[in-house]
Amino acid sequence: MSEAVETNKGGLLLGLVIGGAVGAITSLLIAPKAGSKLRKDLWSTYQIWQDKTKEIASTVCENSKNLAETVSQKTEDIVDTAKEKTENLVDTAKESQHRVTDSIQAAKTTFQNN
């Protein structure tokens, strides 16, 4: 459930960023300003959104690395657990085989003595 919440937060954040950018650009284009002032405001808004985009990209990159490390560690844990259980199963099978062999040998000896 926490992964779904994180995914929804990312979508919400992306929607807010896009909506904010569209709203900012629309307000600049609609407001009556001189051309040089409008260009200056557009450039300023562009730089602000560029910085925010870089920040978001950095956060996404960091979160992706953390996720990759977590997945890698959990995969290693699963592999180690599977190896351990397989080894235990093989040991149990070998012990069972020895017991069966010993039981057959004992029955064979008992049968030959009777």
- Give me the number of domains the chain comprises: 1
The one-digit pLDDT tens for each residue of the chain (114 residues) are 455 545 567 777 778 888 888 887 777 677 776 777 877 887 888 899 899 889 988 998 999 999 999 999 999 999 999 999 999 999 999 999 999 998 888 888 888 877
Output the pLDDT for position 35: 74
Domain region containing 56 = 2-113
pLDDT attached to residue 110 = 85
pLDDT at 1: 45
* Identity of the amino acid at 64: S
Q: pLDDT at position 39, please? A: 79
C-alpha–C-alpha distance, residues 12 and 1, integer Å: 17
| pTM score, whole prediction | 0.48
What is the Cα–Cα distance from 64 to 7, expressed in whole angstroms?
Answer: 12
